[in-house]
Chains A and B, each alone.
Chain A
Amino acid sequence: MTLTYSPGWTASIREVVIGATASEGGTRRVSYRIGGEADLPAIGPGRRPLIAFELCDDPAIWPEVVRCACTSLIDNPPDWARYVDTILGVDLIRLNLSSTRRRNFIAYDAVSRIVRDILAASSLPLMIEGSADPDIDSKVFQQCGEAGGKERLVLGTAEAARYRSVAAAAIAYGHAVIAQSPIDVNLAKQLNILLREAGVPDDRIIIDPYTGALGYGFEYTYSTMERIRFAALKGDGDLAMPMIAAPSDSLTVKEVRGSVHSHETAIAWEVATSVAAALAGAAILVVRHPGSVQPLKESLKNLWPEGGMI
């Protein structure tokens, strides 16, 4: 007799498709199906979480430690994207339109240009983190959505106070949406309902529970993710979306900034946070330090030896 335990799950995580290959109407060399699991992370059949590398179009606000690690690449986002794709070998690229965070931003044309440039530089599926200002969101996301054509991008970030622009662009061009709520299972649920009412199909929503940095509230994120996964497996369809963890605050914490070993610290912080987030249910892990990719890959390979299929 082999010991088993049945936790009584009744449902599974909804699947979301990211990226479109030529046969799917896009130009990506691969597309991914995330979600689909019917048990706890790394238990039972499941898909290995994807690693996304985040780059930006205006590195002035980017963490110092990443600017050092990526050297002059950061001044040329398409080169940066090629490096991330071919040398680091990640699964996804996330473009952060950090230029839109500048005061009095008006360079909307540049948005569609940079999106097209990144799509041309790398054939990996693309996620875009757009503006965070209701006054410009509409134009920025419209540009992103259009430039992304039929590529099935992932657009972010929708929040309860400002989700209409990103939702509209996603609906119009068939992209998916990242729905971010401040580390709270009920607010995550509420936002998913708002997005559904705005017309975003359930299978195009990815939950971002907001990732507190290790040592700065990560435990709240960890438990919120566990609760979301639990609710989903118990049948709550409003929370049965795959999750993304973006430990983006991790590289600005005091330990990383103040350390003489800032690269090693950055990597340890990103990898530790990502591995724990994967165990709590993240389907996509976003990192910013190039040194984090290999150790994280190794760890995920051990946790999900089967890789992809369900």
Chain B
Amino acid sequence: MALKALDIYKLLPKKNCKECGDPTCLTFAMKLAQGKAEPDLCPYISDEAKSTLGASTRPPIQKVTVGMGTLSVTIGEEFVFYRHEKTFYHQPGIMYAISDTESDERIREVVREIRNCHLTRIGIDLLLNGLAITADSGSPERFASALTIATAGNPDLPLVLMAADPAVMEAGLGICGNYLPLIHAADDQNLEVFCGLAKKYGAPLIVRGSDPEHLAALTERCTGLGITQLMLALSGDEGTFVRYSTLVRQLALARVVPGLGYPVFYDARDTGFSGAICGIAKFASVIVTRPLTRTEMQAVLVMRQNIYTDPQKPIQITPGLYRVGNPSRSDPVFLTVNFSLTYFTLQGYLEATRRSCWLLIVDTEGMSVLTAVAAGKLSEAVVKDGIEKFRLADEVDHKTLIIPGYASPLSGRIEEYTGWNVIVGPRDAAEIAAFMEEELK
């Protein structure tokens, strides 16, 4: 439950010492209420007040950044359990794992695979986010040299350094520590040293334990040492992951276990493709997997795009006159709305007919045909506007538009208002091939 500024003010020492950087305790309280300041900035705050505030001013899941620059990955800061409640905000970073025992050439190859992965769907670039290097060699020298190879020419590629031995981790951080790599992982044995390393480089730290309770205890120790850029490591098969990840998310959102208010890291090296899909659906914020095949990689990136699409905002396509195939001046013109899903579905089925045609996309503010007709966003005026703006008459030498089946109530008005003839097409894009065969011989 979020506290109001005045409630927070009551918990502060009310000294107006300005040491937090704010002129008064009240203005500091207002910042805390908005999540724009951390309670730690106040040197005189009581532990009790800090824990009360810590649990109420921060988002239920801490925001964490991995890497620097345009490729950096920001995760956490999530507020809901179901995407339909609002949206999932920060999509998981997907990292390919490689062992430092692999050859230098293989390491270069996997880095190339990550960097060359470019998939564009509905106008958005989908990317793999980085590389995870595991210190299976056990040798500080080899770990460092593997990282030198991986980062040559790619200093900005986000990294996960996976080593339990502090000496090995330190050697790795010596190569790339300034680029905020994710440190995997602090456990019961090495926690103090790893916290020291995380502090030295300002890098985010993953804690690893046997279950959520253990993880919460470890993060409490880390925050006690001043480390707050933390992640919780989960591993195991899909079922184990889903059960723990669900519990962590539920407890974090309920704010009942402050030590669990951190994004989840899923080591899916053993579960691969199916593990990555489970990670995306069930709250993982960084997923490390073996390098996937090209088709698996595409399915994973598209799944991530689907699950992290904001349900409140339809994805839109820019209105305009689009070509399917290589249309001539006599080829048919299909009209539809600028809801991207409608566009891409229709385009796919039109391409499958292997006949060229024109696709006139008018601006319905991203609404689907049915909702646009109901809300008056698809109207004769919008159609006329589209015909004129995109100079349809200059491109074709006929005056016939094929409109979606669900827009049939508008057919008469469109004809009158635009002077174009209207043919009512099918309701379902899947029927477009049959429609073309019968109606447009």
Contact = CB atoms under 8 A, between A and B. Distances in A.
Interface of A: 1-5, 7, 40, 42-43, 214-219, 222-223, 226-227, 230, 249, 252-255, 257-259, 261, 264-265, 267-269, 271-272, 275-276, 279-280, 295, 298-299, 302-305
A295 B274 contact: yes
B302 A215 contact: yes
B408 to A, nearest CB: 16
A1 B274 contact: no
Contacts of B238: 275, 299, 302-303
B282 interface: yes
A298 B271 CA distance: 10
B344 A275 contact: no
A5 B277 contact: no
A265 B298 contact: yes
Interface in B374-421: none
A279 B242 contact: yes
5 tightest CB-CB pairs across the interface, nearest first? A299-B274, A268-B299, A302-B237, A219-B306, A254-B348
B375 to A, nearest CB: 17
Given A215-B121, A302-B239, A222 B306 contact: yes
Nearest to B243: A43
Kindly name the residue among A252, A267, A268, A280 whose own CB sees the greatest number of chain B CB atoms within 10 A.
A268
Interface in B234-291: 237-239, 242-243, 246-247, 250-251, 254, 256-257, 271, 273-274, 277-278, 280-282
Kindly name the residue among B278, B303, B341, B351 whose own CB sees the greatest number of chain A CB atoms within 10 A.
B303
Prevailing SS type, chain B contact patch: helix
B296 interface: yes
Interface residues of B, number: 50
A217 B305 CA distance: 11
A302 B278 CA distance: 11
Interface stretch (B41-49, B69-77, B194-202, B211-219): B211-219
A214 B303 CA distance: 7
Kindly name the residue among A255, A272, A304 whose own CB sees the greatest number of chain B CB atoms within 10 A.
A272
A303 B352 contact: no
Contacts of A4: 247
A27 to B, nearest CB: 34
Contact of B295 (A7, A265, A298): A265
A203 B281 CA distance: 29
B350 to A, nearest CB: 10
Contacts of B84: 223, 226-227
A2 B251 CA distance: 12
Nearest to B300: A272
B351 A219 contact: no
Given A3-B213, A271-B273, A276-B303, A305 B239 contact: yes
Given A2-B213, A223-B84, A253-B348, A218 B306 contact: yes
Given A1-B213, A5-B250, A42-B239, A214 B302 contact: yes
B311 interface: yes
9 contacts: A3-B247, A226-B82, A249-B430, A264-B295, A268-B293, A275-B278, A279-B281, A303-B238, A303-B239
A1 B257 CA distance: 13
Contact of B239 (A254, A257, A267, A304): A304
Contact of B83 (A218, A223, A253, A299): A223
Kindly name the residue among A227, A257, A264 whose own CB sees the greatest number of chain B CB atoms within 10 A.
A264
A303 to B, nearest CB: 5
A216 B345 contact: yes
B294 interface: yes
B348 A261 contact: no
A219 B311 contact: yes
A218 B274 CA distance: 17
A303 B83 contact: no
Contacts of B211: 2-3
Interface string B205-233: 00000011100100000000000000000
Kindly name the residue among B257, B293, B306 whose own CB sees the greatest number of chain A CB atoms within 10 A.
B306
Given A5-B254, A303-B278, 8 more contacts: A42-B239, A226-B84, A254-B348, A254-B352, A268-B298, A271-B277, A276-B280, A280-B281
A111 B405 CA distance: 31
Nearest to B308: A219
B121 A279 contact: no
B298 A255 contact: yes
Nearest to A223: B84
